[in-house]
Amino acid sequence: MRINDILSTLEKWYPPQLADSWDKVGLQVGSRNSELRNILVCLDITPEVIRESLEQGANLIVTHHPFIFNPVQKLTEGDARFEMIKELLKNDISVYCLHTNLDYSPQGTCDTLAKALNLSELKPLDFVYNLSYRKLVTFVPSEAVEKVSRALFAAGAGHIGEYSECSFQSSGTGTFKGSEDSHPVIGKAGQKESVDEIRLEMIVPTTCLSAVIKALYQAHPYEEPAYDVYSLENPSLGASRGVYGKLPAPMLLADWAKQISLLLDTEGVRFVGKPDTVVKKAAVVTGSGMDFANSAFARGCDVLLTGDVKYHQAMDWDLRKLALVDAGHYSTEAWFMPHLANRLKSWIASQNAGINVCTSQVRYDPFQYVGKS
């Protein structure tokens, strides 16, 4: 298995097009063509994480926060960034980043945390409209439709919202005449043939198009399969930044904040609002989510769970008698990394690849906490 096989799968789950325009996602160090050994999943790359990858025999690090974000002005000996890049290149370790596209995708950071808190009737908080689609049409002999369909679905075609394996089929007659150098599956070279065929149509995310066409060639019985690709003007909702839903039962704000602290294994969380505020509906935006506070409360939420709440933001929402829980940027996202690793493990097991996936044990929160005693 090559690194590209894993990256193609990650890009089907978390399309790069969903990332914010300012974001830096994708392969940042290394090559897609390298043979994959093992994988390390982490929140941030530090010297300790690189050493950990060496210990685990991992030559691919999948990180949430971009390793390279701001333009690099210089790389000189002794600089922390230089030393890490040198170590990565020397040991042929590739780095791949899933950032805001991981936040925005189904089964991403926000969606998974909301489900872990047992929120029900989950709905998107703010839609992301930058995921485009194409329509793929191909023509297949009826006896091969099932095989070709499954190959295209596995490559990422046929997904519409919460539905998968979506297609349309209609019957017709295909004609062809191969040259003397052809090797037709049906009929003979140099002879015109007529075949009962199925017109098979399905929607394809632009990010998956090349993989789907490759799968078509591999699964189609014809030597030269015919296909069409159409551009679509459909508005594409794609995914959402944040989700909201109902608690299993009403809770006091202070009790819900404590529940979050226990789930995320934090040093503690901050909250804004009266401790006895009754919480029935909550919004979840991992990392920095205060830009979505208006959306949360416009949808009738009693509280927003996020991180990086500033003092004056807290004061503003408190005066408006709207509640916030600040569980910290680190804690709301680091908690998700084992979930990503487990999803990769399941996919690799389905491929019988024998690749090990590890979650980084390096706990790197740049903030330190101290009590009164």
Report how far residue 22's alpha carbon sits from residue 326's, in angstroms, rounded to the nearest whole number.
24
**pLDDT, greater one: 274 or 206:** 274
Per-residue pLDDT tens over the stretch 250-259: 999 999 999 9
**pLDDT, greater one: 369 or 280:** 280
Residue 235 pLDDT > 70: no
Q: Are 5 and 324 in contact (CB under 8 A)?
A: no
pLDDT band at 130 (very low <50, low <70, confident <90, very high): low
- pLDDT given for residue 80 in this prediction: 87
Q: Are 152 and 169 in contact (CB under 8 A)?
A: no
pLDDT band at 54 (very low <50, low <70, confident <90, very high): very high
**pLDDT, greater one: 34 or 20:** 34
Residues 3-101+336-359: name the CATH superfamily: NIF3 (NGG1p interacting factor 3)-like (3.40.1390.30)
Per-residue pLDDT tens over the stretch 63-82: 999 999 988 888 888 888 89
pLDDT band at 236 (very low <50, low <70, confident <90, very high): low
Q: Are 308 and 84 in contact (CB under 8 A)?
A: no
Question: Which pairing describes strands 303-307 and 278-288: parallel, antiparallel, or unpaired?
Answer: parallel
- pLDDT given for residue 233 in this prediction: 80
Report how far residue 83's alpha carbon sits from residue 177's, in angstroms, rounded to the nearest whole number.
62
Strands (E), the chain: 26-29, 38-42, 58-63, 94-97, 120-124, 127-128, 133-141, 168-177, 192-205, 227-231, 239-240, 243-252, 270-272, 278-288, 303-307, 323-326, 357-359
Domains 3-101+336-359 and 109-128+240-330 share a fold: yes
Domain positions in the chain are: 3-101+336-359, 109-128+240-330, 133-231
**pLDDT, greater one: 364 or 200:** 200
- pLDDT given for residue 312 in this prediction: 96
Q: Which two tokens stand for residue 116?
A: 């872990």
Q: In what order do the strands lie in the sheet with 94-97?
A: 26-29, 94-97, 58-63, 38-42, 357-359
- pLDDT given for residue 238 in this prediction: 59
- pLDDT given for residue 72 in this prediction: 82
CATH domain 109-128+240-330 topology = 3.40.1390
Query: Percentage of residues in the chain with pLDDT exceeding 70?
Result: 96
pTM: 0.76
Mean pLDDT of all residues in 36-64: 97
Q: Is 298 exposed, middle or buried (0-12, 13-18, 19+ CB in 10 A)?
A: exposed
Mean pLDDT of all residues in 180-203: 84
pLDDT band at 50 (very low <50, low <70, confident <90, very high): very high
Mean pLDDT of all residues in 175-197: 81
- pLDDT given for residue 161 in this prediction: 67
Q: Are 355 and 348 in contact (CB under 8 A)?
A: yes
- pLDDT given for residue 183 in this prediction: 78
Quote the distance between the C-alpha of residue 178 and its chain's center. Answer: 44
CATH domain 133-231 topology = Alpha-Beta Plaits (3.30.70)
Residue 362 pLDDT > 70: yes
Q: Are 218 and 151 in contact (CB under 8 A)?
A: yes
Q: Which two tokens stand for residue 12?
A: 């089907």
Mean pLDDT of all residues in 197-212: 90
Provide the 3-class DSSP secondary structure of residue 155: coil
